[in-house]
Amino acid sequence: ASRPFDAHRDGFVMGEGAAVLVLEDLEHARARGAHVYCEIGGYATFGNAYHMTGLTSEGLEMARAIDEALDHARVNPTEIDYVNAHGSGTRQNDRHETAAVKKSLGSHAYQTPMSSIKSMVGHSLGAIGAIEVVACVLALARQVVPPTANYETPDPECDLDYVPRTARSRRLDNVLSVGSGF
């Protein structure tokens, strides 16, 4: 089973799937009467030459991408209501991501629910980014934070609120989706 952030996680589980998003200028969508699910306020991408698939334990690279995305969106870290984690279920990634979110959101990270849909659908590699954005759109539309399925045993190095096993109703205005890949 996929167990992101759980003390007994042992790697990622492959998944399959696809998602399609239609991105459109907000004014154009409104003018034609389209149902607008959400607005992408900002984004960032970041790369490094540390290792082909490896990550540093401090989360610096991911934190920099998060900081730039928040700056681009003009959103304060304290305005993030939910973090959709990359949450692959590997020890290295989960620790790196926990450190990055704490570095970027500061003490607000401890009050912000963070979950991984990979715990439910697995990691579909190239398709997972779009799938996760769709999950975030649905979370915003339904005002529900998806759970991290299979999360049972806390890992002291991953000490945030990972929304164990059960979805949670919550007012969501700003959602941060984090992805990592090569």
Q: How confident is the model at residue 53 (pLDDT cuts 50, 70, 90)?
A: low
The rounded distance, in Å, linking the Cα atoms of 68 and 105 is 12
* Residue entry with tokens 């589980």: 13
Pairwise pLDDT comparison (118 vs 59), residue with the higher score: 118
Average pLDDT over residues 135-159: 98
pLDDT at 148: 98
Mean pLDDT of the chain, nearest integer: 94
Residue type, 128: I
The rounded distance, in Å, linking the Cα atoms of 141 and 158 is 28
Residues in the chain: 182
Q: How confident is the model at residue 180 (pLDDT cuts 50, 70, 90)?
A: confident
Q: How confident is the model at residue 49 (pLDDT cuts 50, 70, 90)?
A: low
Q: CA nearest 46: which of 181, 169, 157?
A: 181
Strand arrangement of the beta sheet that strand 114-115 belongs to: 114-115, 82-84, 175-177
Domains of the chain: 26-177 (3.40.47.10)
Q: Above 90 in pLDDT, residue 61?
A: no
Dihedral over Cα of 104, 36, 126, 8: its sign = positive
Q: Which of 16-25, 97-106, 159-168, 173-182 has the lowest mean pLDDT?
A: 173-182
Q: Which of 48-52, 70-74, 151-155, 166-170 has the lowest mean pLDDT?
A: 48-52
What's the pTM value of the predicted model, to 2 decimals?
0.94
